[in-house]
Amino acid sequence: ASISHTPDIECTIQGNATERCAAATSTACTNFQSLINYMELIECQETSQRRTAVTVALAVLLAALLAGLGAAADSHFAPTLTLTADLMSLPPDVAGVTLLAYGNGAPDLSSATAAIAARAPNLALGALSGAGLFVLCVVLAAVIVVAPPVRTMPASVAEDGSARAI
């Protein structure tokens, strides 16, 4: 089996099924800590049907975890946001823009702080820029698809786009 790994290139596994499984279970390609070795889980399946079944099962698990996260946020975060907005006498639109944005960015800030404390500035920069790009590409696209058409001021859109580009 051929295993290539450098800090800048992700691990690639090549060869027949037996070699790929052996490479996935070796320690040469595992420079991370995880409870589950996903490479082994995928590469050590005897047939492509089992590999597909494992992939589908992982996708279903991801969907279930995201649904659980959404339910937890709905039952815990939304009431807290409402109470905080009421205590601060904020109108609902201002509360949504400020407090919700703060709550959404707090995990990114704490992970970036942890990455910097672990002397991994590339991880911090990647996490912060990745989160921003995800919101820009995925969330904005979803809002555009779902929301009714609105009129915007071209100068304001250009200003916001320029600020994001910087």
Q: What span, in angstroms and rounded, lies between the C-alpha atoms of 44 and 23?
A: 10
Select the more confidently predicted residue: 13 or 95.
95
* Structural tokens at position 141: 């696209």
What's the average model confidence in pLDDT over 2-29? 66
User: Does the reported pTM lie above 0.85?
Assistant: no
108 Cβ contact partners less than 8 Å away, ≥ 6 residues apart:
127, 128, 131
* H or E segment to which residue 119 belongs: none
What mean pLDDT, rounded, does the chain reach? 80
Query: What are the tens digits of pLDDT across the range 149-160?
Result: 888 888 888 888
Q: How confident is the model at residue 57 (pLDDT cuts 50, 70, 90)?
A: very high
- Token pair of 151, please? 């009129």
Give the percent of the chain with pLDDT over 90.
8
Q: pLDDT tens-digit profile of 59-86? A: 999 999 999 988 987 888 778 878 888 8
| pLDDT score of 56 more than 90 | yes
**Interstrand relation of 12-14 and 2-4 (parallel, antiparallel or unpaired):** antiparallel
* Virtual torsion, Cα 166, 158, 161, 66, nearest 10 deg: 160
